Amino acid sequence: MKVPDIIKSCEKRIVFLKDPVKKQYTAFRLVHGASDKCPGLSIDYYAGYLVINQYQGTIRPLIPEIVQQLNSSGFKISGVYLKDRSLNQHGTYGEQSEASVYGLNATSPLLVQEARIQAEVYLGDGISTGIFMDQRNNRSALIDLAKSGNVKSLLNGFAYTSLFTVALGIAVPNLSSVSVDLSKRSIERSRSNFLLNQLNENQHSLVAGDFLDSVRLFQKRGRRFDMIILDPPTMARNKKGKLGFSVKSHAGEMAEQVMQLLNPQGILFFSVNTESLTQKQFENLVMTPLVRQNTACLLPMPGQAEDYPSSPQFPAHLKVIAIQKS
């Protein structure tokens, strides 16, 4: 792992500091593994702070030099958090710094911006910070689809901190939504993001619970939506701790179920973070049962953001499909 390769990758992202449009994004990826000639390493920028994810080797001794060179390039780094994602002999991750390992600690939460969205992030809180930056372009694309398709109701499953809901709620003022996540902490953070972005909870409901339970309830009540968003973990457990979802086993079945909740011409957005499937394999899993019923057509989507480049050595991890109901 060489500092010049790391700095060269980071300098490609200087556009986020200088371009008038890109300057609206204060959280982005600086280094994306082998695609940036830095295998086993990712570095994310959050409003002046770095979060380094290390999958192999050790980068800690290089951090002072990296920060010094980035500051000379105009990034102005205040602090650095280190997440060791390599598994030790016990099958657990290494160091997950709760405090900055170099420089200042960030406020918790720290506010970042994505166009009109404000989001709270927690840099010292485990592996996930509160925002999936690789979904940036998909949030923008769904806004365009919602506006052109006159979307007035949204169901956001596996909502995490509900930033898809926030993006659409800001762009479509008369939108009503339900956002569901099994994690109570994610729902509380969703509520904070709603308050931060002035979304009315009377218009935007939050549900802490199993998403499939909500699907069954909405089916029973005959409730329908104009747009449904699914962004589940590759494998998710239900409220009893049992495996409730895996992409390979359940993606097609879940798509079939939620399509029943869509209004005619409604839109289903389905994405997963997995390296075990190609984009085409994922599309086939989701579309095969729907094609049999002649109920849907594919819509183009941008996929993962440009600061997450793919390469033959490091294919795109984000698999995305958007479907319009006939």
Give the domain range for residue 160: 133-325
Tell me whether residue 124 is in a domain. no
Looking at the structure, do residues 205 and 307 belong to the same domain, yes or no? yes
Residue with token string 């549900």 = 207
In a domain, 312, yes or no: yes
The answer to whether 158 and 180 have CB atoms below 8 angstroms apart is yes
Tokens representing 30?
Answer: 């600086």
Q: The CATH number of the domain where 27 resides is what?
A: 3.30.750.80
Contact 254, 323 (CB under 8 A): no
Residue 113 lies in a domain: no
Whole-number pLDDT of residue 89: 61
Cα radius of gyration (the chain) = 20
50 within domain boundaries: yes
Rounded distance between C-alpha atoms, residue 177 and residue 156, angstroms = 8
Q: What is the pLDDT of residue 71?
A: 97
**Pair 240, 180 in one domain:** yes
Question: Does 68 share its domain with 143?
Answer: no
Same domain, 314 and 213: yes
C-beta pairs of 109-114 under 8 Å, 24+ apart in sequence: 109/192, 110/46, 110/47, 110/49, 111/47, 111/196, 112/26, 112/27, 112/46, 112/47, 113/24, 113/25, 113/26, 113/27, 113/47, 114/24, 114/25, 114/26, 114/27, 114/139, 114/163, 114/167
Q: Residues 40, 54: contact at Cβ < 8 Å?
A: yes
Cα separation values, 214 from 74, 211, 223, 232, Å: 47, 5, 11, 15
Q: Are residues 167 and 224 in the same domain?
A: yes
Instruction: Give yes or no: residues 28 and 99 share one domain.
Output: yes
CA dihedral angle for residue 10, residue 12, residue 15, residue 17, rounded to 10 degrees: 10
Instruction: Specify the number of domains making up the chain.
Output: 2
Residues 102 and 157 in one domain: no
Q: Is the dihedral of CA 130, 136, 140, 146 positive or negative?
A: negative
Instruction: Kindly state whether residues 76 and 147 are assigned to the same domain.
Output: no
pTM of the entire predicted model? 0.94
Instruction: Judge if 100 and 187 occupy the same domain.
Output: no
Residues 151 and 97 in one domain: no
Give a yes or no: residue 48 inside a domain. Answer: yes
Which of 297, 219, 213, 293 shows the shortest CA–CA distance to 261? 219
Residue 296 region by backbone torsions, left for phi larger than 0, else alpha for psi between -120 and 50, else beta: beta
> Is there a domain that residue 116 lies in?
no
Final residue of a domain: which of 89, 106, 123? Answer: 106
Q: Are residues 144 and 281 in the same domain?
A: yes
CB 121 within 8 A of CB 115: no
Is residue 72 in some structural domain? yes
Helix locations, the chain, DSSP H: 3-12, 15-18, 63-73, 136-148, 163-171, 184-196, 211-221, 247-259, 279-292
Is 56 contained in some domain? yes
Report the CATH number at residue 182. 3.40.50.150
Low-confidence ranges of the chain (pLDDT < 50): none
Cis amide leading into 232 (omega within 30): no
Kindly state the tokens that stand for 19: 């371009």
pLDDT at residue 235 in the model: 61
> In angstroms, rounded to a whole number, what is the distance separating the alpha carbons of residues 250 and 215?
14
Dihedral sign computed on CA atoms, order 304, 310, 315, 321: positive
Same domain, 101 and 140: no
Tell me if 255 sits within 8 A of 268, measured CB to CB.
yes
Spatial distance between the Cα atoms of 257 and 295, rounded to a whole number of angstroms: 12
Q: 25 has which bridge partners?
A: 114
The residues, ordered by sequence, that sit 6+ positions from 275 with a Cβ below 8 Å of its Cβ are 315, 317
